[in-house]
């Protein structure tokens, strides 16, 4: 007797064996003779339907770069379309081209004024500081420098919850000590990164480490007479439990703190009701620079600062949400003497970092990409997700030229269409609703052979949610009478951005050669 939903059962079996979604070893559906089903082959077409993009570049390049040299690839030609633009260098059709570089951002205005700025982080968050904070610009502006400490090499950051925060703090203190640097911006990523791992002791240590670094940086900045702004790009571990007590390892819709450390504003009240897009106008006001017309955000200072030369330190405590309720609040539970003191002694408010305030659908959680983008842009930017969702709602999704190219080409050539991407109700990398829309479009176009290759990653999902989503996809295909889910893998192996080519090769072999644990649909 056949298993009705074999890949969902395979994921459940993996859970029983101690595996979890993020690092799930590849599974591949095989036929009665043990041959992998649905491999990507010569002449096939693929749609990589993930959004966000920076973690999708490496895998896409392994199929589309004619001069790819990171590992041996098969001599096959495949046509690729991607949901959004992952990189301008990729030879693909793009369904939803980007809103190009955002002009007159915080960094550009600072540069145009002839001021110097330094961006500091560890490599885990380098792209957020150099690219998203700069309005999706790849190159630094004149007068801008970047300093990135290497993140630890490990498959589990719970083993090193401090990550490279000490090195980031040292680099920042050095930048603070150079009076030529007018704006210093630093990201501490520990809370966000560790918050995605179900390990409470490690998370508490991560929170403690960020608090320690914040204290050291504020002291160094005060000694140099710098103004300090402390905020976050989104929340994470302040809401680490669902109401029923299950662990929530994802981002949240919480407000985030906004603190100003400057004797001039001691005892003053900051504006309430602000959002991340108010960060840039506030910093420009402190630097004595006029905000450009494109910035619709407002300074949170309440009053205009005195006209004097002022240097500013921006500290981004990545993932540090603000919430008063104690249940599941690991920010409150951790030892945070510095943040506690700063919020009591200096002007402090809370600002929005999720949902409509950052161009995301109403009620959705924030993330690092939109968080940094809005802090730098000083205005609301519609996310790719909103644009895609609106296209699905108004029907234009099914007329998309890139999707039609891949589907009609596969139909014309008699080859397979492969749908590749994340399977999640809501991930910053995409939604299962986008996959379902593609399946429905393939049915309408009349594509004969459709295979799905799924990536799992439990970030903001309930335990064992991956199997539930996989079964949902198998049921959707059954309902449509089209498609077969033939592969499952943990996103750790597929979505990389730091040159871990051994992981990408593992995913490539899974997609092309069928390398993985064999799954049959027989009983």
d(CA 386, CA 391): 9
d(CA 120, CA 169): 9
Q: Which helix (H) or strand (E) holds 223?
A: helix 200-223
CB 49 within 8 A of CB 454: no
SS3 145: strand
d(CA 188, CA 313): 13
3-state secondary structure 208-221: HHHHHHHHHHHHHH
Sign of CA dihedral 437, 443, 446, 447: positive
Q: For residue 462, what pLDDT is reported? A: 73
d(CA 31, CA 518): 9
What are the structure tokens assigned to 73, written together? 């690839």
d(CA 392, CA 378): 29
Residue 22 CB contacts under 8 Å (≥ 6 apart), including other chains: 196, 456, 457, 458, 459, 490, 491, 492
Beta-bridge mates of residue 430: 427
User: For the purposes of burial, counting CB atoms within 10 Å of the CB of 479, is it exposed (0-12), middle (13-18) or buried (19 or more)?
Assistant: exposed
Q: Which helix (H) or strand (E) holds 368?
A: helix 368-377
Residue identified by tokens 């074999």 is 6
CB 32 within 8 A of CB 521: no
CATH topology agreement for domains 6-97+385-519 and 106-381? no
Q: For residue 265, what pLDDT is reported? A: 95
Task: Tell me the whole-structure pTM to 2 decimals.
Answer: 0.67
- DSSP class of residue 129 equals I
- DSSP class of residue 104 equals S
Q: Which helix (H) or strand (E) holds 122?
A: strand 117-122
- Identify which of 322, 189, 327 has the alpha carbon closest to the alpha carbon of residue 252: 322
Length of the chain: 523
pLDDT block averages, 10 residues each, the chain of length 523:
80 94 95 96 97 93 97 97 95 91 95 98 96 93 98 93 98 98 98 96 98 98 98 98 92 97 94 97 97 97 91 98 97 98 98 94 91 97 88 96 98 98 81 95 98 86 84 96 97 94 98 97 65
Strands 144-149 and 117-122: parallel
- Identify which of 443, 441, 472 has the alpha carbon closest to the alpha carbon of residue 456: 472
d(CA 351, CA 296): 15
Query: Angle formed by the axes of helices 432-445 and 384-394, to 10°?
Result: 40
What are the structure tokens assigned to 324, written together? 């008063």
d(CA 358, CA 60): 28
Longest dimension (CA), the chain: 79
Among the residues of 414-513, which ranges form H helices? Answer: 432-445, 465-480, 491-494, 501-512
Strands 256-261 and 227-231: antiparallel
Q: For residue 329, what pLDDT is reported? A: 98
Rounded to the nearest angstrom, the gap between the alpha carbon of residue 43 and the centroid of all alpha carbons in its chain is 32
Strands 256-261 and 450-456: unpaired
CB 370 within 8 A of CB 358: yes
- Per DSSP, the residues of 290-333 read PPPTT-----SSSSPPPSS---EEEEEETT--B----TT-HHHH
d(CA 91, CA 238): 41
d(CA 43, CA 401): 19
**CA dihedral of residues 348, 353, 359, 363 (deg, nearest 10):** -120
CB atoms within 10 A of CB 159: 11
What are the structure tokens assigned to 434, written together? 């986008």
Strands 117-122 and 183-188: parallel
Ranges of each domain in the chain: 6-97+385-519, 106-381
- Per DSSP, the residues of 389-424 read HHHHHHSGGGG-HHHHHHHHHHHHHT--EEEEEE--
SS3 492: helix
What is the topology classification, in CATH, of domain 6-97+385-519?
Answer: 3.40.1450
What are the structure tokens assigned to 393, written together? 């709602």
Q: For residue 461, what pLDDT is reported? A: 65
Q: Which CATH number fits domain 106-381: 3.10.20.580, 3.40.720.10, 3.40.50.2300, 3.40.50.300?
A: 3.40.720.10
Q: For residue 362, what pLDDT is reported? A: 85
């Amino acid at each position: 007797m056949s298993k009705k939903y074999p890949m969902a059962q395979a994921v459940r079996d993996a859970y029983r064996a101690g595996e979890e979604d993020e690092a799930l070893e590849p599974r591949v559906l095989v036929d009665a003779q043990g041959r992998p089903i649905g491999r990507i082959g010569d002449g096939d077409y693929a749609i990589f339907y993930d959004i966000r993009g920076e973690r999708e570049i490496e895998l896409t390049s392994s199929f589309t770069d004619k001069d790819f040299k990171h590992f041996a690839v098969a001599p096959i030609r495949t046509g690729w379309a991607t949901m959004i633009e992952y990189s301008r260098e990729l030879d693909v059709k793009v369904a939803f081209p980007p809103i190009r570089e955002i002009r007159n951002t915080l960094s550009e205005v600072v540069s145009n004024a002839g001021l110097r700025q330094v961006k500091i982080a560890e490599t885990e968050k380098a792209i957020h500081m150099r690219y998203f904070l700069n309005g999706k610009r790849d190159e630094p502006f004149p007068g801008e420098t970047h300093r990135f400490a290497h993140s630890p090499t490990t498959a589990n950051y719970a083993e090193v919850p401090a990550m490279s925060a000490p090195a980031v703090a040292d680099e920042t203190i050095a930048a603070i000590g150079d009076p030529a640097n007018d704006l210093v911006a630093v990201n501490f990523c520990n809370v966000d990164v560790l918050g995605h791992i179900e390990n409470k002791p490690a998370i508490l240590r991560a929170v403690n480490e960020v608090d320690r670094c914040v204290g050291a940086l504020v002291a160094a900045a005060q000694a140099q007479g710098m103004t300090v702004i402390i905020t976050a790009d989104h929340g994470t571990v302040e809401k680490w439990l669902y109401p029923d007590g299950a662990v929530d390892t994802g981002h949240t819709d919480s407000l985030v703190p906004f603190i100003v450390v400057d004797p001039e504003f001691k005892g003053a009240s900051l504006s309430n009701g602000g959002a991340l897009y108010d960060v840039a106008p506030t910093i420009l006001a402190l630097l004595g620079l006029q905000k450009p017309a494109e910035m619709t955000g407002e300074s949170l200072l309440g009053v205009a600062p005195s006209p004097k030369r002022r240097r500013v330190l921006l500290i981004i405590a990545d993932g540090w949400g603000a919430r008063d309720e104690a249940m599941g609040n690991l920010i409150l539970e951790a030892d945070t003497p510095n943040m506690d003191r700063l919020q009591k002694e200096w002007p402090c408010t809370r600002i929005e970092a999720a949902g409509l305030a950052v161009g995301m659908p109403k009620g959705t959680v924030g993330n690092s990409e939109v968080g940094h983008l809005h802090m730098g842009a000083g205005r609301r930017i519609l996310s790719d997700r909103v644009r895609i969702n609106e296209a699905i709602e108004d029907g234009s999704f099914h007329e998309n030229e890139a999707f039609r190219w891949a589907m009609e080409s596969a139909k014309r050539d008699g080859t397979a269409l492969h749908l590749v991407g994340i399977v999640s109700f809501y991930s910053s990398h995409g939604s299962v609703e986008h996959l379902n829309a593609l399946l429905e479009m393939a049915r309408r176009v009349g594509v004969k052979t459709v295979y799905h290759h799924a990536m799992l990653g439990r970030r903001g999902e309930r335990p064992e949610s991956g199997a539930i989503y996989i079964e949902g996809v198998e049921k959707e295909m059954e309902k449509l009478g089209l498609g077969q889910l033939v592969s499952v893998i943990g996103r750790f192996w597929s979505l990389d951005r730091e040159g871990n080519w051994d992981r990408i090769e593992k995913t490539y072999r899974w997609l092309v050669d069928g390398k993985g644990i064999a799954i049959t649909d027989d009983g």
